[in-house]
């Protein structure tokens, strides 16, 4: 499995308001949403990796050069046992009019570079918000800020914010939701109606973007039994070489923007420029200039431990996972396919990784890595949602 490329990345801040179905003048809205601070207990084994510390913009570039230096070999000092409860910021939305699909909960995990707003783009939401598209189709959907982003907790960027811990956070959220205790065990803001406080899904579909999809692939192999299907976006199993961090630059989050990111400690960095965001996420002709400004406005820091932990957490077969899986990607995704995903799928490796189910693939025409920010986003959402519907979810 050594040269399997599990290529991934980046994914989105929740300013969304509680949308209550009120009759006071305004029309009844199609969704009810609640903002949650969820305490998620986690037991996981991280590693203490050797790497330079990042406490300035100069350090951020030095980190990039150091980790890509041809003679650098990964070194682990010791294992780090995580046994903590992390506070995770989440949003649950359910349809106001409950149909048969309202009991199917989609749990959406964003990638690196954004927080949960990735799924809930505020510009022209009827075109761009995946949350709205899913709820209008009758689904319930939970979005959350991964550890270290948005309004979730920002623990040590070196030894805590790593892949094993993030996979267990997703597992923990999924189990809480399934048990019907998600809302009761969380601090909820705004008023919650009965519809939502009693919410207990019968099925769970994992939806990911990039690094979020990577976490889901690991979740399906480590916790086979807790998901009923998955849509992995911005993620493809290929034999292509990786676009490594030499292709894009970060700055130390706190120095980059002390107003927005003043709370981020050592080891958190952020993509430096709008040009860099365009290169990684957007394809000319398939995004509105306003959207590029928006990506810059909503971009979020990443933790160095997320990069460091990729090497020791390779994808492993999801033996026994039988739910339907769709790989949904932009045709011209620069990050995962070096600009062109046509013909890039490595079908043999897909069969090894998902031996007990069928993986369906779809390339969304003329689209880059950030599928929710492309002008044709809403047509793509229909492809994803129809896939679930056809598979009985």
d(CA 88, CA 147): 7
| Candidate list 37, 39, 48, 257; residue touching ligand NAG; CB under 6 A | 48
- Pick between residue 150 and residue 380 the one whose CB is nearest to ligand NAG: 380
Let me know if 132 is exposed, middle or buried by CB neighbors in 10 A (0-12, 13-18, 19+). buried
Closest C-alpha to 90, from 196, 10, 183: 183
d(CA 359, CA 349): 11
Assess 365 for contact with ligand NAG (CB under 6 A). yes
Sheet of strand 302-303: strand arrangement: 250-252, 268-271, 302-303
- Pick between residue 23 and residue 78 the one whose CB is nearest to ligand NAG: 78
d(CA 238, CA 306): 21
Q: Where are the alpha helices (DSSP H) in the chain?
A: 57-68, 125-128, 130-136, 163-179, 194-197, 211-222, 253-256, 258-261, 274-281, 289-298, 304-308, 334-337, 347-353, 377-390
- Pick between residue 261 and residue 332 the one whose CB is nearest to ligand NAG: 332
Q: 320 to 359, contacts with ligand NAG by CB under 6 A?
A: 320, 355-356
Assess 361 for contact with ligand NAG (CB under 6 A). no
Q: Quickly count: other Cβ atoms within 10 Å of residue 156's Cβ.
A: 16
Binding mask 76-105 for ligand NAG (x = CB under 6 A): -xx-x--x----------------------
Which residue bears the tokens 């189910």?
357
Assess 380 for contact with ligand NAG (CB under 6 A). yes
Minimum separation from the CB atom of position 195 to ligand NAG (A) = 13
- Pick between residue 180 and residue 241 the one whose CB is nearest to ligand NAG: 180
Choices 27-35, 304-312, 332-340, 378-386 (CB under 6 A): range interacting with ligand NAG: 378-386
| Candidate list 17, 45, 124, 184; residue touching ligand NAG; CB under 6 A | 184
Assess 180 for contact with ligand NAG (CB under 6 A). yes
Assess 364 for contact with ligand NAG (CB under 6 A). yes
Assess 51 for contact with ligand NAG (CB under 6 A). yes
Binding mask 238-277 for ligand NAG (x = CB under 6 A): ----------------------------------------
d(CA 196, CA 328): 30
Assess 74 for contact with ligand NAG (CB under 6 A). no
Secondary structure of 166-214 as H, E, C letters: HHHHHHHHHHHHHHCCCCCCCEEECCCCHHHHCCCCCEEEEEEECHHHH
Closest C-alpha to 208, from 12, 2, 5, 60: 12
Total residues interacting with ligand NAG, rule: CB under 6 A: 27
- Pick between residue 176 and residue 219 the one whose CB is nearest to ligand NAG: 176
Assess 69 for contact with ligand NAG (CB under 6 A). yes
Closest C-alpha to 351, from 318, 377, 384, 323: 318
Task: Give the residue at shortest CB distance from ligand NAG.
Answer: 379
Contacts of 389 (CB under 8 A, 6+ apart): 101, 137
Assess 50 for contact with ligand NAG (CB under 6 A). yes
Assess 1 for contact with ligand NAG (CB under 6 A). no
Q: Are residues 205 and 134 in contact, defined by beta-carbon separation less than 8 angstroms?
A: no
| Candidate list 91, 129, 159, 165; residue touching ligand NAG; CB under 6 A | 159
Residues that bind ligand NAG (CB under 6 A): 43, 48, 50-52, 66, 69, 72, 77-78, 80, 83, 159, 180-181, 184, 319-320, 355-356, 364-366, 376, 379-380, 383
């Amino acid at each position: 499995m050594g040269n399997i490329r599990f290529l991934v990345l980046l994914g989105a801040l929740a300013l969304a308001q509680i949308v209550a179905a009120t009759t006071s003048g305004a029309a009844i809205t199609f969704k009810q949403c609640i903002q949650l601070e969820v305490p998620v207990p986690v037991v996981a084994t991280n590693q203490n990796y050797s790497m330079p510390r990042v406490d300035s913009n100069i350090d951020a570039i030095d980190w990039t050069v150091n980790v890509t230096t041809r003679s650098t070999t990964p070194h682990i000092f010791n294992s780090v046992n995580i046994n903590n409860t992390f506070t995770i910021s989440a949003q649950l939305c359910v349809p106001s009019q409950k149909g048969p699909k309202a009991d199917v909960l989609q749990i959406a995990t964003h990638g690196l570079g954004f927080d949960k707003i990735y799924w809930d783009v505020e510009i022209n939401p009827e075109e761009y918000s995946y949350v709205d598209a899913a709820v209008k189709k009758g689904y319930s959907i939970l979005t959350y800020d991964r550890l270290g982003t948005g309004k979730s907790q920002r623990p040590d960027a070196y030894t805590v914010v790593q892949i094993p811990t993030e996979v267990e956070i997703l597992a923990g959220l999924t189990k809480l939701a399934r048990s019907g205790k998600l809302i009761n065990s969380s601090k909820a803001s705004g008023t919650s109606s009965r519809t939502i406080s009693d919410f207990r899904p019968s099925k769970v579909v994992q939806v990911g973007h990039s690094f979020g999809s990577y976490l889901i692939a690991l979740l399906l192999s480590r916790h086979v039994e807790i998901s009923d299907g998955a849509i992995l976006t911005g993620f493809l199993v290929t034999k292509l070489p990786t676009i490594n961090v030499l292709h894009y630059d970060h700055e130390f989050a706190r120095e980059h923007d002390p107003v927005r990111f003043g709370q981020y400690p050592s080891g958190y960095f952020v993509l430096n420029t709008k040009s860099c965001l365009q290169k990684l996420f957007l394809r000319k002709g398939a995004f509105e200039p306003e959207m590029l400004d928006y990506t810059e406005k909503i971009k979020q820091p990443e933790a160095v431990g997320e990069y460091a932990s990729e090497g020791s957490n390779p994808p492993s077969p999801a033996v026994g996972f039988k739910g339907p899986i769709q790989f949904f990607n932009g045709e011209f995704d620069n990050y995962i396919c070096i600009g062109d995903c046509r013909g890039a799928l490595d079908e043999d490796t897909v069969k090894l990784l998902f031996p007990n189910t069928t993986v369906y693939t779809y390339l969304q025409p003329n689209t880059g890595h950030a599928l929710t920010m492309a002008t044709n986003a809403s047509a793509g959402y229909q492809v994803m949602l129809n896939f679930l519907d056809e598979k009985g979810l």
